[in-house]
Structure 1
Amino acid sequence: MAILAAGPRRRRRTHPAQVVVLGFAGAILVGTALLMLPIARADGVATDFFDALFTATSAVCVTGLTVVDTATHWSGFGLAVILVLIQLGGLGIMIFASMIGLLVARKFSVRARLTAVAESGALSQQDVKGLVRGIVGLSLLIEAVVMVFLLARFLLGYGYAPGEALWHALFHAVSAFNNAGFALYTDNLIPFAADPFICLPIAAAVILGGLGFPVLMQLRKEFRRPLHWSMNTRIMLWGTVVLLTAGTAYITVLEWNNDDTFGSYPPAARVLMGFFQSVQTRTAGFNSVDVGQMHDETWLGMDVLMFIGGGPAGTAGGIKVTTFAVLFFILWTEMRGEAAVNVFGKRLSRAVHRQAITVVLIALAAVMLGTITLMIMTGRGLDETLFETISAFATVGLSTGITADLPPGGDVVLVLLMFLGRLGPLTLGSALALRERRILYELPKERPAIG
């Protein structure tokens, strides 16, 4: 009776970040179990646990790093499992990121909610089902359009049988839009390096997936009214153009005379290859050249592009273009001696300053710790190890060729980096936004010496 009098126990509230982490972990474990089945392997032999775990993590986190040859190791069943994991991983990130926008908006007053909804672009507080349908529908539409282009090229340009052409077109369209980088060829997309009818549709899908769902929805509704675009949309569009242009010029110039990469191709093909690799370095992971043969200087520039990544609420990884832009505008404001950070005619919230700095510092710590650990385990140099670590954390999937040769401990490090890189910035950002609390007192100010 005393127990009854105490009343019902309170249910412990689950933070949204915990839900998404558990969801992705569950998907990885299920995917690992399926890929370990003998039917998932081409030769009918069960795949090793670490290889299956690595592949499932890479697929769910839409990274693209591999420890086995995707084209020859997996059977049709295994490839189908990978494709489903890629689709679930990509859509799951977009849906969760958009739902976080709803949760954040509900914390404020009615006026603040309306402002937050308008600023986020297409995040409705009422029609949640419509929101999810919009994400799924838009994703499938883009994938279908890209698939049609690839299907026509495989049929007419390479003489594939209809069934084979359809499968290759579907797999690469889904892999591209979700920024996964998995390909059905042993040497990835190197056979199509100079083919714009393959490279450009895939690049377009990667760019659209990397922009983020809120940007795509706002462009669909208000494409002809740029004055109505939110700060997020403007930052993403300008940032994408600047990074793609700079990346294309940087990679093309440095690799122009490298006979192991661009040097043996005609000039027009070299420009196409430079653009394609610039796009893929922004977290997609397809490669049309042997990345391991690139110059060290090219790797360093690609490290920066991979670390920045794509847009929030999309399929790309990295710290996100918006985070990088916020830091840039803070730096620009400090250099000009101004008090407030103004971006495209609006003032940036000081809370965003702190969140951006927090995300970047934690990301840098993860990359440095992972790099040092891999260097100790493998005895390899800094350049290739740093490249591999950033590629895993930013869920890019590009590799200098050392991933398949790593010891099991190294595989575990990359698995953790992929998982942290895919969920870390997103869940950390949401946690910071959702746990703001008021402090009813202020301490006296004091300034330490800087610089």
Structure 2
Amino acid sequence: MNPGPYFFERGEEIVAQRPTVSGFGRLKEAWNTAIGHSPSRFAIGVFTLLILLFTLLFSLPIASASGTVTPLADALFTAVSVICVTGLSTVDMSTHWSAAGNVFVYVGVQIGAVGVLTLASILGMIISRKLGLRAKLIAAGDTNPMRMHHGPVAEGQAIRLGEIGSLLLTVATSLIVIEGAVALLLFPRMLIDGVDPGTAAWQSFYYSAMAFTNTGFTPNAAGLGSFSNDYFFLGILAVGVFLGALGFPVIFALRKNLFHPRKLPLHAKLTIVTTLILVVAGAIVFTVLEFDNRKTLGGMNAGDTAFQSFFLSVMTRSGGFNAIEIGDLNGSSKLVASMLMFIGGGSASTAGGIKVTTLAVLFLAAWAEAKGNPDMEAFGRRIPQDVVRVALSVVFWGAAIVAIATIILIQMTKDPLENVLFDVVSAFGTVGLSTGLTETLDDPGKYVLAVTMLLGRVGTVTLAAAVAASTSSKLYRRPEERPIVG
């Protein structure tokens, strides 16, 4: 225990003096003051340190296939894209990195997918075989940002505090089981497609990791072009992406109540229903907008068109894989894809965006207002009004981040709005699809897009909680007056 201040007498003057603190002690004290006492600030701090670490790793000569040092802007951009499980790249991921570089990518996306605090809690549970209260609170904040925003929350939310240990076990097992299953299904298919056994072995695990983590990097030069007509291969990737985008709380709920869907918590029901609606609606819209585009779906039969539309709909929500060239899409399709990417996947998932539950809550609020109902209700449950406030703030700050980054990059590149907006939303939603703009950016543009990826992955709720540090309380309320809205 650190000794407190001690006093000595100098004449008639009493002087308080603290013991001398070393440089490391000052650094530790500054860390605890700025970050250590806030889980949200701690998460952002650890994310930043991980990005710096992986920037160093990607800068090493052993990480590149040529044995040379990767420029700082490209190393930093790759590190952010890997840790934020985005999938955008400024270098050719299939040829630029060596075996060591690909290992760094593989390990980095696994860390970024499960979340820094969740991974730390899992490791602590494995080492000590128990989970303390502080570790539970940290893990709970990582799997449910509402806890960090409001502090203690009602146990009726997605995961009860007493179930955090089981949730962490589900995170670890789902990561291993789902990625392993996807890899085992992809391996023989790649052999059938003519890939040699050695390459098929490591690429199947690489693809499975990029699918479940919703990253979208491809290890071969042709990307998915080699498998564009292999619907079994593409279908397995789509399933991996879909499961990863649902979120660990939903997977946990499904594991407990798979054969009793009525017992699923509200969060799981909203996530699953909204996700399915978005996938189907996106596929229908892409079919309508692209059926006459000879560069995309125009030359396909009905079956191929339906599959490619569904595949594109799944991937634009967070997956990042593309079987057709994004740059060949019509401008209207790019706008729809940007909307899907902005929404993203489920909360506490490997996907980004504002999250599907945010969209669901805003829709329910608008529906309740249209019906004149004072309460928002879904699946026999009432949703508190403070959830709407959080949802509105998430959308507002997300839109603000996208707008600012888009304006800056348009000014830098002078490229068309539809292309710049698409790549910016892809970065914010940690999707990884690109019109081709990202790989042509100069260094300042790369830094702008890297910051956008980080903000999108950390999450607007976490950022707000990090700035606020705690929920403030007021002992008084000012007089009410209603402005005119609408």
TM-score (norm 2): 0.86
User: Deviation at 1:253?
Assistant: 2.3
The separation in 2 between residues aligned to 1:54 and 1:127, in whole angstroms, is 33
Question: Is 1:32 aligned to residue 60 of structure 2?
Answer: no
Match of 2:124 in 1: none
* 2:298 matches 1:263: yes
Q: What is the letter of the counterpart of residue 310 of structure 2? A: F
Q: Does 1:153 align with 2:189?
A: yes
Q: Distance in 2 between matches of 1:294 and 1:433?
A: 42
Q: CA–CA distance in 2 between the matches of 1:173 and 1:411?
A: 27
The unaligned stretches of length 5 or more in structure 1 are none
Confirm or deny: 8 A CA contact 1:102 1:124 kept in the other structure: no
- Structure 2: which amino acid aligns with 1:278? S
Contact 1:292 1:400 in 2 (8 A): yes
Deviation per CA, 1:106-149: give whole Å up to 9, x if none: 9999xx97x51x5314x443764x54333111111110010111
Separation (CA, whole Å) in 1 of partners of 2:409 and 2:146: 38
Q: C-alpha offsets along residues 339-394 of structure 1, whole Å, 9 cap, x if unaligned?
A: 11112211111111111111110111100000000010111121111111101111
Hey, what does 1:377 align to over in structure 2? 412
Aligned to 1:172: 207
Instruction: Name the SS for the 1:342 alignment partner.
Output: strand
TM-score, scaled relative to structure 1: 0.92
Q: Distance in 2 between matches of 1:102 and 1:286?
A: 27
Deviates more, 1:208-217 or 1:340-349: 340-349
- Identify the residue that residue 99 of structure 1 maps to in structure 2: 140
| Distance in 2, Cα, partners of 1:242 & 1:304 | 14
Q: Residues 325 and 433 from structure 1, CA distance in 2 versus in 1: closer, same or farther, beyond 3 angstroms?
A: farther
Query: Partner of 1:312 in structure 2?
Result: 347
Supply the RMSD in Å over aligned alpha carbons. Answer: 2.6
Secondary structure (helix, strand or coil) at the match of 2:56 reads helix
The whole-number CA distance in structure 2 between the counterparts of 1:15 and 1:414 is: 27
Superposed displacement of residue 438, structure 1: 3.3
CA 1:397/1:336 → structure 2, altered by over 3 Å: closer, same or farther?
same
Residue 191 of structure 1 deviates from its aligned partner by 2.5
User: Cα offset for 1:429?
Assistant: 6.5
Amino acid at match of 1:185: N
Structure 1 CA distance for aligned equivalents of residues 60 and 114 of structure 2: 25
Letter in 1 for 2:251: L
Give, in whole Å, the separation in 1 of the partners of 2:428 and 2:451.
8
Give the superposition deviation at 1:258: 1.6
CA deviation profile, 1:253-303 (whole Å, cap 9, x unmatched):
222232212233333222111111111101111111000011000001001
- Aligned residue-pair number: 444
Q: Structure 1 residues 103, 379: CA separation in 2 closer, same or farther (over 3 Å shift)?
A: closer
Mark the CA change 1:227 to 1:126 in structure 2 (over 3 Å): closer, same or farther.
Answer: closer
Aligned counterpart in structure 1 of residue 329 of structure 2, from 290, 294, 316 = 294
Q: Please identify, of 11-20 and 400-409, the stretch whose mean Cα deviation from structure 2 is larger.
A: 11-20
Residues 38, 45 of structure 1: 8 Å contact kept: yes
Partner of 2:226: 191
1:10-67 deviation line (CA, Å, top 9, x unaligned): 9645211111111111111111111111111112221111111111111110000111
- Which residue identity is paired with 2:5? I
Contact 1:194 1:272 in 2 (8 A): no
Amino acid at match of 1:293: D
Q: Secondary structure at the match of 2:352?
A: coil
Aligned twin of 2:438: 403
Contact 1:62 1:178 in 2 (8 A): yes
Counterpart Cα distance in 1 of 2:299 and 2:457: 36
- Residues 61, 107 of structure 1: CA spacing in aligned structure 2 closer, same or farther, 3 A cutoff? closer
Q: Deviations over 1:207-257 (max 9, x none)?
A: 111111110011011011122111101100100110000011111222223
Gapped regions of structure 2 (runs ≥ 5): 8-15, 22-28, 120-137
Q: State the distance in 1 between where 2:467 and 2:285 align.
A: 35
Match of 2:447 in 1: 412
Task: Choose the corresponding residue for 2:177, options 141, 148, 154.
Answer: 141
Distance change >3 Å, CA 177–CA 78, structure 1 → 2? same
Q: What is the match of residue 158 of structure 2?
A: 120
Code of the aligned partner of 2:180? A
| Letter matched to residue 97 of structure 2 | W
Equivalent residue for 2:135?
none
Secondary structure of the 1:120 match is coil
State the AA in 2 paired with 1:306. Answer: M
Alignment equivalent of 1:250, drawn from 264, 280, 285: 285
Q: Which residue in 2 is equivalent to 1:435?
A: 470
295-304 or 94-103, larger mean C-alpha shift:
94-103
2:70 matched to 1:47? Answer: yes
Which residue number in structure 2 is paired with residue 348 of structure 1? 383
Which deviates the most, 22-31 or 435-444? 435-444
How far 1:4 sits from its partner (Å)?
3.1
C-alpha displacement at 1:176, in angstroms?
0.6
**Deviation (angstroms), 1:82:** 0.8
CA distance in 2, matches of 1:248, 1:2: 66
Aligned to 1:366: 401
Give the structure with higher Rg (CA): 2
Q: Please say if 1:70 is aligned against 2:93.
A: yes
Q: What's the offset of the Cα at 1:94?
A: 8.2
Aligned to 1:285: 320
